[in-house]
Chains A and B, each alone.
Chain A
Amino acid sequence: ETGVTQSPTHLIKTRGQQVTLRCSSQSGHNTVSWYQQALGQGPQFIFQYYREEENGRGNFPPRFSGLQFPNYSSELNVNALELDDSALYLCASTHDRGGYNEQFFGPGTRLTVL
């Protein structure tokens, strides 16, 4: 039990639609990162938010966007869904207070794009 939850657990969308995935972090976690894990591959870093501001982005197009809220929840939005967006989406959060602090992963949302 990591204290990080994600919703929904599973989601099916069609190509061209938009989707919003949600993550709820532990209280005090000011940093949240999102990862995409395609089937049979390792997770790929999408972007990170620190104190509600984007703090780095991986090699993902602008149709992937995010928000982080003061209540330690966050969202990943994907517009114009493509078949290749089918994957497990993971969020991970931590309290960045200097040094290294463990990052906790949620169980993920499995997105299927038809």
Chain B
Amino acid sequence: AQSVTQLGSHVSVSEGALVLLRCNYSSSVPPYLFWYVQYPNQGLQLLLKYTSAATLVKGINGFEAEFKKSETSFHLTKPSAHMSDAAEYFCAVSPNDYKLSFGAGTTVTVRA
């Protein structure tokens, strides 16, 4: 079975500071990995995905993530936080059958 663990349920950063959200996965086969963002009272929006191509993946809104097989990690970063980045972020894994297993989520707050 595939699963993900998100380290830290809540992250608080200052506007302009680095955003780092941690995700570790467990999978017996090379997985597809995703980061989604959810704004209050909305559905999920795909930020970026890893599908066995380049290990450094660039997404929307300035986010990027690096797939590290040796560490079974897929951490999400953004160099400079913006107030609009305040939301909940979910890491997810799938064996490419569109059945996603999500982590518990990390809530990001941005301080002015």
CB distance from A28 to the nearest CB of B (A): 15
Q: Interface centre among B51, B90, B97, B98, by most A CB within 10 Å?
A: B98
Q: Is B98 within 8 A of A43, CB to CB? A: no
Closest residue of chain B to A94 (Cβ to Cβ) is: B98
- In B42-100, which residues have CB < 8 Å from any A CB? 42-46, 49, 51, 90, 92, 96-100
Q: Is B105 within 8 A of A41, CB to CB? A: yes
- In A28-53, which residues have CB < 8 Å from any B CB? 31, 33, 35, 40-45, 48
Q: Interface centre among B42, B43, B45, by most A CB within 10 Å?
A: B43
Q: A42-B104, A100-B51 are in contact. Are A33 and B99 (CB under 8 A)?
A: yes
CB distance from B21 to the nearest CB of A (A): 13
- By a CB distance below 8 angstroms, the chain B residues around A2 are 43, 45
Residues of chain B whose beta carbon lies under 8 Å from any beta carbon of chain A: 32, 36, 42-46, 49, 51, 90, 92, 96-105
